[in-house]
Structure 1
Amino acid sequence: MHDDELSGWSTAAFFTDELPRLEELAASDDGFVVEVMVHPDAPADLDYRVGVVVDVSVEVTPTGGHDWFDLGVVVQVDGRSIPFQTVFTALAQGRDKVLLPDGLRFTLDRRFDRLREILDEAGALGDTLKPSVPVSRYQVDLFDELDRLGLVDAQSAAWRTALGALAGGAKPEPVDVPAGVDAELRPYQREGFAWLAFLAEHDLGGVLADDMGLGKTLQTLAAVQRQRDRGAGPPVLVVAPTSVVGNWVAEARRFTPGLTVVAVSETTKKRRAKLAEVVDGADVVVTSYALFRLDADEYQALDWSMLVLDEAQFVKNRQSVAYRCARTLRAPVKLALTGTPLENNLMELWAILSITSPGLFPDPRRFADYYAGPIEREGHQSRLDLLRRRVAPFLLRRTKEDVAKELPARQELVTEVTLNPRHRRVYDQYLQRERKNVLGLVDELDSNRFKVFRSLSVLRQASLDVSLVDEKQADVPSSKLDVLFEMLDDVLAEGHNVLVFSQFTRFLRRVRDRLDEAGTGYAYLDGRTRKRAEAIERFTSGEVPLFLVSLKAGGFGLNLTAADYCILLDPWWNPAAEAQAVDRAHRIGQTRQVMVYRLVATDTIEDKVMALKAAKSRLFASVLDGGTSAASGITADDVRALLS
């Protein structure tokens, strides 16, 4: 005698598949008996059977909110509606079989496999009790996939109206440049303007991520002009770095002279008038990130038709006050302009998109788990491909190589600097000391990040000039300074105009002191320079052939096409910072080949930085330019490599 106990799906399968055969056998064999006993607690309507026709569809209904819809999955088996929670529970648990209490069983086929993935990405499977899943109209690619699965053939008219124009991923139709724009837009600028105009017309936001120097300001001003031509309404608010506010005002007066532009350059405490009085009658209001943050309450209290975030990497940190101010500002359209929407990791891209397209990836933790982690740590190609598709309707990027083919070539070279014996000896002493300080901390990198980065900064400075670490070492000659001045002697003698960049203003001032000793004319710009415009004019007018610029002060807002040589004194693991610097010279308007020299001290931390920077560049290219994936973020292993 053998006893077997069955339950759930196995019981149902036995009753529908095996029991009829046993009963047939019993009918033909008098010695074989089949007894079926029903448990007293069994449902009265229990009837084990197999569902034959399984239909699934998705209903899309507006929630009443501007940006959100309810996505409801409707399943019918042999014409009978199946409870939403039952199917979602199975999907959430990774099951492909469903057994109902009354005995009906059916299988979830391949359509449900893809539906499971889509709903998992949308964050829907975490709660199986809700009758529907909220989705944003920014998640247009998600709707597209449901459509391709044949699940949304009978979509609501509201969805078609709100999303139909973007659903196919086609470029917006060309739009006439407004008569009020006093400029001839290049073909790619016309496309960018049409894209921005389309977003504004549909109350959507996005990121214009063109390379530096391709005219993002002009494209945006054209879109603003078109919006103002369609009806006044509240003004447009432009938030930019302090050094760029004046440039926005000048560009607006040049390209859109019919717009009334007001620059806010003081805090509420310093000016007598309230912000509402200052901006009254303006079409465009331009302010800095600092003032936007300090006077947040005043900006929040006013209505705006559009928010434009120039150099939007300023809001890449979702913990910052500037980010919160931009995220909560009341404006139906929010645009971000930046050539570097991600510099270090994918959460920076999430932060910017959460401002411009807030429903695209609503939850930062889910984005980190589903996209950032797998892509950065594992190079997960399918997640990378999916991320590109999701952001494509709301992020437009063109490179200079693609659209500005008339630009002269840019040649980039690495000049290796061998430390002189005294410099080498002191550097090695610092290296041994910092290794001891740091290597015990890297396993807990997050909690010791400040101490670790301080040690790395010490070694970077020592690679340049050991006196930056200890003034008592001032008599140790800087190998990098010696090589720089050998280069400058040749380059300046040949009549070239040169930009010299450094992350460290103290080292830049050492260059300045040595130029003073030699009697060589130059212009100088760092974060403390008061007469910024005068310094720029000295160089661009040709008064001096040499411009010393700190990366932080000169990484954006400058048009320095007068230069045809760029010298980067110290490499950094963030390639975006260097790219921003070089693009001061290599941009629209440049007619000469641009030579870029990176001075790298051999057998120092700078060698390691160059390798780490290459990984950062691959991450940027993988997400924005269609390259292959690479890891990102500075990890404990990275720190060990930098100190090896």
Structure 2
Amino acid sequence: MKVSTTQPFQIVYSLFEHEYLGYLFESYVVQLNAKGQLTLQHQNVSAKNAAEFADGLDARDFELIALTDQIQQDAVIKEFWPKKIATADFFLKIYDPEKGDKGLQERIAAYVQGRMGQLLDGLQGKLVFIMGKDGEPTWHEIKVAPEPASVLFHFRRNPDNTHYFPTIQYRGQKLDFTGCGAVMVCCQPAWMLLNDVLHNFRNDVDGKKLQPFLNKKFIVIPRQVEDSYYQRFVAPLVESFDVHARGFDIRSERYQARPHLIFSDIPSSTVTYETEAATSSRRTATTEASSDHIHFDLAFRYGTHMVRNHDKRVSVQLEKTTDSYVFHRLIRNLEDEQEFIRALQDRALEVRNGRAVLEKATAFKWLHSHAEELAQMGFTVQQGSTSGKDYFIGQVTVTVGITETNDWFDVHGTVRFGEYEIPFAKLRPYILQKRHEFKLPNGQIAIIPEEWFTQYLELFAFSEDHHNSLTLRKHHVALVSDLQNGNLATVTMSRKLERLRGFETVEDQPLPAGFNGELRPYQKAGYNWLHFVQDYHFGGCLADDMGLGKTVQTLAMLMDRKESGAAAGAASLLVMPTSLVYNWLGEAQKFTPGLRILTYTGTYRDKNVEQFADYDVILTSYGIVRLDAELLKSYKFDYVILDESQAIKNPGSTTSQAVRGLVSRHRLILTGTPVENSTMDLWSQMSFINPGLLGSQTFFRKEFLKPIEKDKDEVKMRRLHALIKPFILRRHKAQVATELPEKIEHLSYCRMTDEQQQCYEETKSYYRNKILQSIEEHGTASTQFMLLQGLTKLRQIANHPRMADETYEAESGKLREVVRMIRSVVSEGHKVLVFSQFVKHLDLVRHSLDEKQIEYAYLDGNTRERHKEVARFQETEELRVFLISLKAGGVGLNLTAADYVFILDPWWNPAVEAQAVDRAHRIGQEKTVFTYKFITKGTVEEKILALQNRKIQLVSDLISTDEAIIKSLTKEDIEELLG
């Protein structure tokens, strides 16, 4: 029956009982008659139609209507059963007496009761009725009591049992409710309907505590269950409500709060504390496994009673006497307790609900730092009885001394755990294996401070253990200095060794008389430095940029070894790529003709080390050392020098193992790129010149390689630099620019032909879809090969599609531009080096130059007698073009006749391109060198340039190559490249 909104109406709230959900309310609007009386004409009102009756509703009505909507059976089913189900089926299924879902019933009850509590709170001043059985919403009016009633719980302990019952008072009058037809309309919070009045209660009484007494005067608790009943039920009641007792005592007591901080490695819901009455029952360690965390529990002692931290101002402790019980009702000082909690928080222990958890190492560091201060503040800090181990929490200190001896550093020290003194060396396995727990002689477990695992890790990793004493090789002087500077060790070191920290001030050494020519100032400094590390019997790495004269500095040093007699009849071995042997021979003949040189190469070499006695320097290749390893290690050389030492970057390779087996007084490596693919390259080379400098391979991989390459850890990068700095001399070309001719670089952008564009887009689309799908399914790591394959194919098409498809007949925009510029350079009388990473690309250029009848020199990996091709280009005025594969011509070539360099297909690693430019831009070049880098517009080449700035940090720090960059590309980078 519809209610007219144009006539007077009244909103009412009607209480009814649902078979399964309990007591609920519905909201109605009821039409009023001319006298303002309620009529039988009514209509259900919900959030859907409430707006129609807005003139007769206030803001609270809208809130109450929304709540009544939420507790109707359809809304409840929708909330808890997302699938479609008939109403009857739902209730029969969930509330079946035998097979019903008890857990879901409890969740539904909590949901309904919560909203009923909000509804009842808001009904004050509203018209409230009990609904008639015929659904009439205004059948019987009831009221809401304007103020809450109070409950007093009674306990009468008799000789055989205890009687328990509640009484209710409202406005000073006792309300009889047992047997009076009272009902609990809501239990949490409690609302009782008694004599047509809805009552709620102070102190958040749970209605379930009143429910049994609606039809029963009292409950009998038998004597045999008295103990547990008093502890579990009566004590919480005494804590929160007014309780009247006969037969036992309830005593209210006040004491000063004394904080107790109890720690344990095993979390426990019930923490056992030692009270004054139980000091004899000390905790004994259990065999349970301990966790990796320490759990702190904060409690407060009031008198002889210990209470856990919670928000209740009253805490009850039950004491059983000879013939009765005493409930100690402790009145807590929550303000004082909060002060203690804040004191812990100020010291970085965040206590929530009486508990805090810290990682074990952090926890004991915290205890060591604050235990004394906490004691002064009144805290008692103790280990809980649930702890699996007996921990030491006293003072922990360490003293370390390092003393230089003739051949090494002696490391000695003492660790003090309270009264116990432990030799420092005994911590070695613990620090290296990251084991924090150290067992003391009394059986207690001491926790090694977390910072020691960082501060002393390298000391233990690089040292050698000799019967509980440690020694360090002298090339670890940087580590020793760091320990001294960090106040982590007391160091006794000779002044001579102190000088190694700053080789810039090393003593100037005269050049040998047999050296022809002059050294530039930075080359002379390098020559002095080689003497300096030699004097300390350290290995050295001369890592100057390409073209800065590593060869001539080394030859000058070897000449001095001969003239001074330091070599003492022992030859020095120079190992290099085969292609550089003749370069070294030529340089030696030019600058140090007094050195007797043996070229130990070729199939027909004399495999006899006795012949070395007649020479000063033996030139050989890595391949020969690999083949003659057993023979060569039988001879003790003065120096073993590796040129282009990145050849031993793989420590597990046969070549690396062969050169490590060589015996010499001194070791030296020469390289412009100490790191090509991985930071492990550096470990391999530094371990050759100074064994043990960077620890074992496993240690280096874990502590340096992974953090630097995977995590981009700048701290580890700086640490690695500090360790190797004394043994590497690296000068960049920019540092000695005033001694070199100016070099100018250009980017030459080329446009694709239409046919080339079509081919490129088709290929890009194919690989983009394939690669991005693979990334989604398998991640970037497993896509590296496909990505490299796709990028290589796109690079080839950007150069000339015929490199990827031999049937392609049209032209290439880049090739057309390259040939045009070659013709222009040649016509003006200049010489040009043309580099490509693809031999196929060079073949296309050759074909074009042949058609134009332009003469050229050519060099790739298959070229034999490459030095003759180099000499032909350098010495033949009319020969103006040199086509070179980047891989074959990247090292060991002097091509100063050229003053133009063309890079046809740039790629990730600028160091590789720089090596190509350095073929022309070397010492002896007197002309300005012009470099042109050809970039095909709108292709992956252009996008690589944009990405390079973000991706070559490792290149600039330790130098890298293309494969390393590919591994570091993110999904976003890949999408940008293939976009």
Using the size of structure 1 for normalisation, the TM-score is 0.82
Distance in 1 (CA, whole Å) between partners of 2:495 and 2:368 is 49
Paired residue secondary structure (1:548): strand
Which one-letter code corresponds to 1:551 in the other structure? L
Identify the residue that residue 880 of structure 2 maps to in structure 1. Answer: 545
8 Å CA contact retained: 2:874, 2:897: yes
Aligned pair partner of 1:249 in 573, 585, 589:
585
Query: Relative contact order, CA 8 A, sep 6+: which one is greater?
Result: 1
Identify the residue that residue 73 of structure 1 maps to in structure 2. Answer: 413
Paired residue secondary structure (1:304): strand
Which one-letter code corresponds to 1:241 in the other structure? P
* 1:333 shift after superposition: 2.0
Gaps of 5+ in 2: 1-252, 254-270, 275-282, 286-363, 381-388
8 Å CA contact retained: 1:572, 1:609: yes
Distance in 2 (CA, whole Å) between partners of 1:233 and 1:446 is 54
* 1:436 shift after superposition: 5.0
Which one-letter code corresponds to 2:752 in the other structure? L
Identify the residue that residue 33 of structure 1 maps to in structure 2. Answer: none
* 1:581 shift after superposition: 0.4
Paired residue secondary structure (1:472): coil
Identify the residue that residue 295 of structure 1 maps to in structure 2. Answer: 628
8 Å CA contact retained: 1:408, 1:590: yes
8 Å CA contact retained: 1:58, 1:74: no
Identify the residue that residue 457 of structure 2 maps to in structure 1. Answer: 120
Which one-letter code corresponds to 1:484 in the other structure? V
Distance in 2 (CA, whole Å) between partners of 1:591 and 1:600 is 28
Which one has the largest radius of gyration?
2
* 1:203 shift after superposition: 2.2
Does structure 1 residue 457 correspond to structure 2 residue 792?
A: yes
8 Å CA contact retained: 1:245, 1:288: yes
8 Å CA contact retained: 2:835, 2:884: yes
Does structure 1 residue 406 correspond to structure 2 residue 742?
A: no
Distance in 2 (CA, whole Å) between partners of 1:22 and 1:635 is 52
Distance 1:437 1:186, change over 3 A: same
Q: Judge which range, 314-323 or 501-510, deviates more.
A: 314-323
Aligned pair partner of 1:588 in 901, 923, 927:
923
Q: Judge which range, 540-549 or 316-325, deviates more.
A: 316-325
Which one-letter code corresponds to 2:602 in the other structure? E
Does structure 1 residue 514 correspond to structure 2 residue 848?
A: yes
Identify the residue that residue 273 of structure 2 maps to in structure 1. Answer: 4
Distance in 2 (CA, whole Å) between partners of 1:438 and 1:357 is 44
Paired residue secondary structure (2:835): strand
Distance 1:325 1:643, change over 3 A: farther
* 1:16 shift after superposition: 12
Distance in 1 (CA, whole Å) between partners of 2:554 and 2:445 is 57
User: Going by fraction, where is strand more abundant, 1 or 2?
Assistant: 2
Distance in 2 (CA, whole Å) between partners of 1:418 and 1:12 is 69
Paired residue secondary structure (2:665): coil
* 1:96 shift after superposition: 11
8 Å CA contact retained: 1:171, 1:195: no
Aligned length: 604
Alignment of 1:180-329 (within 5 A): 180-228=514-562, 229=564, 230-267=566-603, 270-271=604-605, 273-277=606-610, 279-329=612-662
8 Å CA contact retained: 2:781, 2:967: no
Distance 1:357 1:492, change over 3 A: same
Identify the residue that residue 483 of structure 2 maps to in structure 1. Answer: 146
Distance 1:79 1:281, change over 3 A: farther
Q: Judge which range, 587-596 or 242-251, deviates more.
A: 587-596
Distance in 2 (CA, whole Å) between partners of 1:404 and 1:49 is 61
CA deviation profile, 1:366-403 (whole Å, cap 9, x unmatched): 32332233333443332222222211101111122212
Distance 1:323 1:576, change over 3 A: farther
Identify the residue that residue 38 of structure 1 maps to in structure 2. Answer: none
Distance in 2 (CA, whole Å) between partners of 1:599 and 1:131 is 63
* 1:60 shift after superposition: 4.7
Distance in 2 (CA, whole Å) between partners of 1:197 and 1:266 is 33
Query: Aligned-residue CA RMSD in angstroms?
Result: 4.1
Q: Judge which range, 502-511 or 76-85, deviates more.
A: 76-85
8 Å CA contact retained: 2:667, 2:689: yes
8 Å CA contact retained: 1:262, 1:286: yes
Identify the residue that residue 58 of structure 1 maps to in structure 2. Answer: 401
Does structure 1 residue 356 correspond to structure 2 residue 689?
A: yes
Which one-letter code corresponds to 1:527 in the other structure? G
Distance in 2 (CA, whole Å) between partners of 1:22 and 1:298 is 74
Distance in 1 (CA, whole Å) between partners of 2:671 and 2:420 is 53
Alignment of 1:240-639 (within 5 A): 240-267=576-603, 270-271=604-605, 273-277=606-610, 279-435=612-768, 438-439=771-772, 443=778, 450=785, 452-473=787-808, 475-541=809-875, 542-615=877-950, 617-623=952-958, 632=965, 634-635=967-968, 637=970
* 1:91 shift after superposition: 6.5
Paired residue secondary structure (1:138): helix
8 Å CA contact retained: 1:344, 1:633: no
Identify the residue that residue 500 of structure 2 maps to in structure 1. Answer: 166
* 1:532 shift after superposition: 2.2
Paired residue secondary structure (2:738): coil
Distance 1:330 1:531, change over 3 A: closer
8 Å CA contact retained: 2:432, 2:460: no
User: Going by fraction, where is helix more abundant, 1 or 2?
Assistant: 1
Distance in 2 (CA, whole Å) between partners of 1:140 and 1:12 is 32
8 Å CA contact retained: 1:207, 1:335: yes
Distance in 2 (CA, whole Å) between partners of 1:127 and 1:206 is 22
* 1:433 shift after superposition: 3.3
8 Å CA contact retained: 1:51, 1:104: no
Distance in 2 (CA, whole Å) between partners of 1:89 and 1:284 is 45
Which one-letter code corresponds to 2:612 in the other structure? V
Distance in 2 (CA, whole Å) between partners of 1:543 and 1:488 is 14
* 1:160 shift after superposition: 4.1
8 Å CA contact retained: 1:374, 1:383: yes
* 1:361 shift after superposition: 0.7
Distance 1:399 1:79, change over 3 A: same
8 Å CA contact retained: 1:414, 1:597: yes
Distance in 2 (CA, whole Å) between partners of 1:280 and 1:302 is 10
8 Å CA contact retained: 1:241, 1:311: yes
Paired residue secondary structure (2:663): coil
8 Å CA contact retained: 1:139, 1:390: yes
Distance 1:212 1:13, change over 3 A: closer
Distance 1:404 1:3, change over 3 A: closer
8 Å CA contact retained: 1:569, 1:599: yes
Distance in 1 (CA, whole Å) between partners of 2:690 and 2:461 is 19
Gaps of 5+ in 1: 24-41, 626-630
* 1:446 shift after superposition: 6.1
Which one-letter code corresponds to 1:146 in the other structure? L
8 Å CA contact retained: 2:857, 2:873: yes
Distance 1:601 1:294, change over 3 A: farther
Distance 1:359 1:129, change over 3 A: closer
Distance 1:366 1:243, change over 3 A: same
CA deviation profile, 1:177-236 (whole Å, cap 9, x unmatched): 111212211111111011112222332212111111111101111111222332334211
Distance in 2 (CA, whole Å) between partners of 1:22 and 1:164 is 50
Which one-letter code corresponds to 1:486 in the other structure? R
8 Å CA contact retained: 2:911, 2:959: no
Aligned pair partner of 2:424 in 63, 69, 84:
84
